[in-house]
Amino acid sequence: MKDASDLTFMAAALEQARAGEATPGGAQVGAVLVENGHIVCSSFHEGDLQSDPTAHAEMVGIRRLCKERRSTSLKGVTVYCTLQPCGMCTMACLWAGVSRIVYGASRNDVNSVYFESRHFDTADFINQAFRDDLEVKGGVLSDECATFYLKPEETAPIDPAHDFTSIL
């Protein structure tokens, strides 16, 4: 049952990725937050839209739902994301107390440009942090999700945050 609903909700996250791709200043990473079998928040990457390097799809969703509820706790909520959450988003999930993280494409499926230069695996964050009750599941509709992103072997544009030539 959980597997079937994971597919449904990941399909909804893929819709958000499409919406992000079609939105000026948005990008093709989508997320939905689910509680009691219902989508309670949908979001996509809004980095350029908000001029905010932290406006990843998961961060946008967590901020939006917490603000709406005037709460810092998302206990019982599952975060679905088309791409494996980065370190920042994983920690945000931990701080918000979400109960599950489900992602599509993993960091091994896509170009390293989408992740920090030195990246802890999401699972390591969870294991080495302070939550034993947070479930993480990857690889849901991973092929479909990965079509949105550059492949590991493709040449990626230089990300200003990682362009060390500008300071040499």
Least distance CB 22 / Zn ion (angstroms)? 20
Residue 128, token pair as written in the block: 């080495």
By beta-carbon proximity to Zn ion, the closer residue of 56 and 100 is 56
Please, are residues 15 and 30 in contact by the beta-carbon 8 Å criterion?
A: yes
Least distance CB 37 / Zn ion (angstroms)? 25
Half-sphere exposure of 125 (CA within 13 A, CB side): 20
Catalytic residue among 21, 58, 116, 144: 58
Which residues here bind Zn ion, judged by CB under 5 A? 56, 86, 89
* Number of helices (H), then strands (E), in the chain: 6, 5
Residues forming beta bridges with residue 83, ordered by sequence position? 105
Residues 62, 162, 159, 147, CA torsion sign:
negative
By beta-carbon proximity to Zn ion, the closer residue of 79 and 89 is 89
Helix, strand, coil tally for the chain in percent (to 5): 40, 20, 40
By beta-carbon proximity to Zn ion, the closer residue of 5 and 48 is 48
Least distance CB 71 / Zn ion (angstroms)? 21
The verdict on whether 68 is a catalytic residue reads no
Residues annotated as catalytic are 58
